[in-house]
């Protein structure tokens, strides 16, 4: 299947609108060097993650943009690049290009990312973006309905999983060479799990910039190219080439009712750490299980920490240090105190579940500015509740609903066992949104409250050097 002429001009016409809609986000995206290539190591999730923990790989190119999902070009000033990956069963294509923010969140503007998302909201946002920009690769069914298949992997990846990014400096000449190569080659899918998977594609893209930088492990991954192995190789390559700018960033999974993604592993590591595989193997053949352990230890499968020395990505902000466990606990205590002033019951430990039930009964829609809202029934009257940072306080919904949404988000951000941390900038923003919502409720105690976010180690002056050194990081 090839892109039809009626689809490509449509995408070209909206390109300018996309840039304008992301203006506030782009203002934070000035790079200290011309361009970069970023390897995305994406955690496994859902049923597939139960059987294999190798995850997914993609590449974000800050200097490469697209006239359509299938035609690449160099970026103009102010544009933020695209994400490329190999997919199985998406329009018969081998690769598809999607802008960064839509790839992560299925919206065009960072301010429109839902604060708390359920499956209905995610499907709604994905389908809206598909109908606007991806009809060429995932067209409507004959009856106008949403098609099935793996096209959903093109947008909104951060609703499903946490992503680790590894960004290395590149140049305009390297970008141009890759653009010519991909535009000239036949874009036809021949996906094979063992020899032509998403990690193989990422390896080829990075190696086109830096030949032989990445390679698979015949022993640790039994010859299969895996996302974690590619990340390990890129980190090692950057250590050998300190003259190249290199940064590591975590892109957290968006808070919501979806199960959290799980740790990413290599092939042997995945087998060894999975009780459903290693325990029966040890019973049937202790020698085989011992060999698996020897390979795991010998190849250092468990010694590579994807999150080590990584900053935390926050849409619309500079990457920042992750909020530590003690700082999260301090915020959680202050959250309980703040809510106790507004309502006798204070903060409920089941606030997240309570909000999930209410959101499940609502219908996702868009407001007049194209931002996501939830259509809900309150005392038999329909109301629209803004669900993004850009509109949560602007739709006139009852303050109680706004408070419940923000409390659910903060509880998930501050949970004690948060595996990947959270950026302080996002917690501070959500805290301030909650205080404004409480003040709008007219409660005199809250209106006169002087409570502010707690002082944390991450907000001390010592963290400023990290913000300065993050110039040029993934934004």
DSSP of 290-356, one letter per residue? HHHHHHHHHTTTTT--TTTT-EE--TTS--BPBPPHHHHHHHHHHHHHHHHHH-TT-S-TTHHHHHH
Q: Is the model's pLDDT at 15 over the cut of 60? A: no
pLDDT at residue 219 in the model: 72
3-state helix, strand, coil in the chain (%, to 5): 45, 15, 40
- 205 within domain boundaries: yes
Domain end marker among 237, 263, 289: 263
| Whether residue 258 is found in the same domain as residue 291 | no
* 357 and 250, same domain (yes or no): no
pLDDT at position 34:
64
CA dihedral 371, 374, 375, 379 (to 10 degrees): -130
What local confidence, expressed as pLDDT, does residue 329 receive? 87
Whether 212 and 286 map to the same domain: the answer is no
Q: Is residue 68 part of a domain?
A: yes
Return the SS3 of 192.
strand
> Which tokens belong to 134?
């991806």
- Residue 379 to residues 382, 395, 398, Cα–Cα distance (Å): 8, 17, 11
- 217 & 364 share domain: no
* Average pLDDT value for the chain: 82
Domain count, the chain: 3
DSSP bridge pairs for 73:
65
Q: Looking at the structure, tell me whether residues 391 and 349 fall in a common domain.
A: yes
User: What's residue 148's pLDDT?
Assistant: 92
Q: H or E element: which one contains 403? A: helix 399-414
pLDDT given at position 444: 36
pLDDT digits 0-9 by tens, 227-271: 999 999 999 999 999 999 999 999 999 999 999 999 888 777 766
Per-residue pLDDT of 261-313, as tens digits, reads 998 887 777 666 666 666 676 666 677 667 766 666 667 766 788 998 899 99
User: Reduced to 3 states, what is the DSSP secondary structure of residue 260?
Assistant: coil
| % pLDDT > 90, the chain | 54
Q: Is 276 helix (H, G, I), strand (E, B) or coil?
A: helix
pLDDT band (50, 70, 90) for residue 10: very low
Beta bridge partners of 366: 372
Listed residue (230, 86, 217) closest to 168, CA to CA:
230
Tell me: do 96 and 198 sit in the same domain. yes
Which has more pLDDT, 193 or 363? 363
Assess if residue 304 is contained within a domain: no
DSSP string, 93-151: -SEEEEEHHHHHHSSSSGGGSBSSB-HHHHHHHHHHHHHHH-TTTSPPPTTSPPP-SGG
Neighbouring-strand partners of residue 42:
56, 163
Residue 363 falls inside a structural domain: yes
**Could you tell me if residue 149 is inside a domain?**
yes
**Structure confidence at residue 293 (pLDDT):** 63
Q: Please, is 307 exposed, middle or buried when counting C-beta atoms within 10 Å of its C-beta (0-12, 13-18, 19+)?
A: middle
Question: Which tokens hold the place of 331?
Answer: 């915020």
Share of the chain above pLDDT 70, in %: 76
List phi, psi (to 5°) of 311: -85, 170
* b/e 113-135 (16+ beta carbons within 10 angstroms → b): bbbbbbeebbbbbbbbbbeebbb
- Are both 82 and 227 inside the same structural domain? yes
Confidence of residue 76 (pLDDT cuts 50, 70, 90): very high
pLDDT above 80 for 448: no
Residue 113, domain member (yes or no)? yes
Domain extent, residue 290, equals: 268-298
Q: Report pLDDT for 97.
A: 97
Domain-located, residue 140: yes
**Is 253 in the same domain as 288?**
no
pLDDT (0 to 100) of residue 23: 37
The more confident residue out of 22 and 348 is: 348
Whether 145 and 81 share a structural domain: yes
Please check whether residues 175 and 284 belong to one and the same domain. no
Least trusted range by pLDDT, from 350-359, 383-392, 466-475: 466-475
pLDDT higher than threshold 90 for residue 422: no
Torsion angle, CA of 68/101/76/71, rounded to 10 degrees?
-20
Q: Of the residues 245, 263, 281, which one is the last residue of a structural domain?
A: 263
What does the pLDDT look like over 84-119, one tens digit per residue? 999 888 999 999 999 999 999 999 999 999 999 999
Query: 186 and 199 share a domain?
Result: yes
Q: Note whether 240 and 288 are same-domain residues.
A: no
In-domain check, residue 39: yes
Examine the fold and report which residue of 281, 298, 315 is the final residue of a domain before the chain moves on.
298
């Amino acid at each position: 299947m090839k892109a039809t002429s009626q689809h490509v001009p449509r995408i070209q016409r909206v390109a300018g609108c996309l840039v304008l809609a992301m203006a506030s986000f782009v203002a934070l995206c000035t790079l200290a060097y011309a361009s970069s290539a970023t390897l995305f190591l994406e955690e496994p999730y859902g049923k597939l993650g139960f059987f294999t923990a190798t995850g997914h790989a993609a590449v974000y190119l800050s200097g490469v943009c697209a006239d359509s999902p299938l035609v690449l070009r160099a970026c103009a000033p102010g544009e933020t690049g695209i994400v490329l990956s190999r997919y199985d069963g998406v329009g018969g294509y081998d690769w598809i290009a999607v802008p960064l923010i839509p790839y992560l969140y299925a919206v065009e503007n960072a301010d429109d990312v839902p604060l708390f998302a359920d499956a209905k909201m995610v499907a709604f946002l994905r389908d809206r973006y598909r109908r606007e920009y991806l009809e060429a690769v995932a067209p409507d069914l004959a009856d106008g309905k949403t098609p099935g298949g793996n096209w959903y992997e093109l947008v909104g990846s951060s609703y499903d999983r946490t992503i680790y990014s590894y960004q290395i400096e590149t140049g305009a000449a390297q970008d141009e060479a890759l653009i010519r190569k991909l535009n000239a080659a036949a874009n036809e899918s021949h996906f094979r799990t063992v020899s032509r998977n998403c990690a193989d594609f990422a390896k080829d893209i990075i190696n086109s910039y830096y030949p032989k930088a990445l390679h698979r492990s015949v022993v640790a991954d039994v010859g299969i190219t895996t996302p974690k192995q590619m990340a390990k190789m890129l980190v090692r390559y950057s250590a050998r080439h300190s003259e190249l700018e290199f940064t590591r960033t975590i892109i957290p999974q968006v808070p919501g009712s979806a199960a959290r993604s799980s740790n990413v592993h290599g092939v042997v590591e995945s087998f060894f750490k999975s009780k459903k595989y290693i325990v029966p193997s040890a019973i049937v053949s202790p020698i085989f299980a011992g060999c698996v352990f020897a390979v795991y230890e010998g190849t250092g499968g468990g010694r590579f920490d994807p999150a080590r020395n990584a900053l935390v990505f926050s849409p619309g902000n500079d990457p920042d240090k992750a909020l530590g466990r003690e700082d999260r606990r301090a915020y959680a205590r202050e959250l309980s105190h703040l809510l106790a002033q507004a309502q006798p019951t204070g903060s409920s430990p089941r606030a997240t579940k309570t909000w999930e039930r209410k959101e499940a009964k609502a219908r996702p829609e868009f407001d007049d500015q194209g931002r996501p809202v939830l259509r809900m029934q309150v005392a038999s009257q329909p109301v629209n509740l803004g669900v993004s940072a850009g509109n949560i306080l602007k739709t006139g919904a009852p303050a109680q609903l706004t408070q419940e949404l923000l409390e659910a988000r903060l509880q998930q951000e501050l949970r004690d066992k948060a595996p990947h941390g959270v950026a302080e900038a996002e917690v501070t923003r959500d805290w301030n949104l909650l205080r404004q919502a409480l003040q709008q409720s007219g409660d005199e105690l809250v209106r006169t409250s002087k409570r502010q976010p707690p002082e944390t180690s991450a907000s001390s002056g010592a963290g400023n050097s990290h913000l300065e050194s993050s110039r040029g990081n993934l934004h």
